[in-house]
Structure 1
């Protein structure tokens, strides 16, 4: 084992990493190692070089009711076998260690700057995921949202009255949404950090949140991160369904979009609550489109407290704004 690896890895992971490297490459040594930027997952992701070639080493640092390496690796292997995820060289659920091929290339918005082409290509990839044999189950997404809501309320960041209308409308969605009707293999976290482009092909990584879920969760997550307006959403949904979506499909998407706003909103606000004890009580912040523009200029850092609370408030605000629209009432009525 070389000193570079010893100095950067968590000490309690050294032996299992050595074993993984030995089994995969016939040596426990690496020529280079670099900690990659973390996403929302607490897993540690490293770019390593062995025999002159780059790979991704991923270490799951803690397991719980939502984080299960066995489920993650089942989803990962299925996606890799289908050419959706990078090749899997090693994955040991007991050790919580995986090694995959490294995908080099520009960010997707650079490699595929034409928005219509970008959205159509992503839609094709989402269709590929949803066509896989069903992933293992985890949670009913609506019930999971209740748990996230309750954990957010426990932080007491704001008076309950500040988000009472948000969650009242969520209960209206939950009362009519047919959550068991369209279950598919689902990635559930298709944010830009997990959508890679090698110059020719899109690859999807980080399958920690993968499980059998409602198809509209993936569609709503992609729209959150990649669609800036209704035209983009229409392009994406039409590419996914192979034709213009029906009124029922639009209604399901619209309602799940609000749930996804609330889901990520509570996540970001809870992360902000872990960083400070007191918080600005004003819930009015820039819109989603405005925040995206700020992020493109480097004016918002989601790793900071300020970035997390801004992004969380914005998502909560977006949900409430849309749930006050006539389209929301029409979608609810269609599902009754």
Structure 2
């Protein structure tokens, strides 16, 4: 094994990585290694080259109730067998190490610039995920959001009054949303870093958050990152359902979208709080559309404190604005 690998990998993982390489390729030697910086997972992801070909080496660094390699690899294998995820060459839950095929290609918005084609292609892939045999369970998603909410509030970034209205609306959703009615195999984190395009087809990666969940979670996450307006949402949902969505389907999507805003909002704000102790208390920030435009111009870096707190505040603000609209109460009424 060359020095670059020895120097880049955590020392306590080296013996297990050597075993993985030996069993997979018949040699522990690699020709190149590069730490991949995309994504928000604490797992360490490397592109390695063995025998002239690139692969992805993924090391889970902390195993807990949310990050469980045993559950992750069940989801990963099922998705890979269906041609949704890249081929799995090695996956050892005890060692928390996996090796998968590497997917090369441009970002999906570059490879598939036509928005209708892009949304329809992603919808078909999400539909394929949801058609897989049910993934292992993890948590009632709405209960999970409460856990994230409480951990966020414990950090005391802002006075509780700053987000009290947000979470009072969430309580209304939780009280009525039929979270167990449409459980499917769900990825649960379909952000742009986890959707790859090789020039011919789309691949979904990073199955750490995969578990049996409400179908609208994946739909809402995709819409957060890829749908800029109502027309985009209609295109995406119509492609997913195979027909124009019903009023009930629209209502479930609308409500879960607000939950996803709050879920990711608390995550980004907590990550910001881990980087700095004092925070600007103003919760008013640019809108989702404005922030997306800023990101397209590389004016927002989600890896920085400034990017995380801006994005987190924006998501919280977006949820509150939407939940103050007549459509919110109308959607709740449809679920009664």
Taking the aligned partners of 1:146 and 1:2, their CA distance within structure 2 comes to 46
Runs of 4+ aligned residues of structure 1 deviating over 4 Å after TM superposition are none
Taking the aligned partners of 2:299 and 2:154, their CA distance within structure 1 comes to 30
Partner of 1:222: 222
TM-score of the two chains, using structure 2 as the length reference: 1.00
Residues 90 and 100 in structure 2, CA contact (< 8 A), matched pair in contact too: yes
Partner of 2:9: 9
SS in 2 for 1:163: helix
Residues 38 and 193 in structure 2, CA contact (< 8 A), matched pair in contact too: no
Taking the aligned partners of 2:33 and 2:121, their CA distance within structure 1 comes to 32
Partner of 2:257: 257
Partner of 2:77: 77
Taking the aligned partners of 1:299 and 1:38, their CA distance within structure 2 comes to 17
In the TM superposition, what are the counterparts of 1:290-305 in structure 2 within 5 Å?
Answer: 290-305=290-305
Partner of 1:285: 285
Partner of 2:122: 122
Once the two structures are TM-superposed, the CA of residue 4 in structure 1 deviates from its matched residue by 1.4
Partner of 1:197: 197
SS in 2 for 1:224: helix
In the TM superposition, what are the counterparts of 1:134-283 in structure 2 within 5 Å?
Answer: 134-283=134-283
Deviations 1:108-166 (A, max 9, x none): 00000000000000000000000000000000000000000000000000000000000
Taking the aligned partners of 1:63 and 1:232, their CA distance within structure 2 comes to 37
Residues 186 and 210 in structure 1, CA contact (< 8 A), matched pair in contact too: yes
Once the two structures are TM-superposed, the CA of residue 37 in structure 1 deviates from its matched residue by 1.0
Partner of 2:309: 309
Once the two structures are TM-superposed, the CA of residue 40 in structure 1 deviates from its matched residue by 1.2
Taking the aligned partners of 1:82 and 1:39, their CA distance within structure 2 comes to 23
Residues 285 and 314 in structure 1, CA contact (< 8 A), matched pair in contact too: yes
Once the two structures are TM-superposed, the CA of residue 2 in structure 1 deviates from its matched residue by 1.3
Deviations 1:82-109 (A, max 9, x none): 0000000000000000000000011000
Report the count of equivalent residues: 336
Residues 38 and 44 in structure 1, CA contact (< 8 A), matched pair in contact too: no
Aligned-residue CA RMSD (Å):
0.4
Partner of 2:37: 37
Partner of 1:87: 87
Residues 136 and 212 in structure 1, CA contact (< 8 A), matched pair in contact too: yes
Taking the aligned partners of 1:2 and 1:272, their CA distance within structure 2 comes to 36
TM-score of the two chains, using structure 1 as the length reference: 1.00
SS in 1 for 2:153: helix
Taking the aligned partners of 2:89 and 2:103, their CA distance within structure 1 comes to 14
Residues 262 and 316 in structure 1, CA contact (< 8 A), matched pair in contact too: yes
Residues 39 and 194 in structure 2, CA contact (< 8 A), matched pair in contact too: no
SS in 1 for 2:57: strand
Once the two structures are TM-superposed, the CA of residue 65 in structure 1 deviates from its matched residue by 1.1
Residues 48 and 55 in structure 1, CA contact (< 8 A), matched pair in contact too: yes
Residues 166 and 316 in structure 1, CA contact (< 8 A), matched pair in contact too: yes
Once the two structures are TM-superposed, the CA of residue 18 in structure 1 deviates from its matched residue by 0.2
Partner of 1:61: 61
SS in 2 for 1:34: strand
Once the two structures are TM-superposed, the CA of residue 38 in structure 1 deviates from its matched residue by 3.8
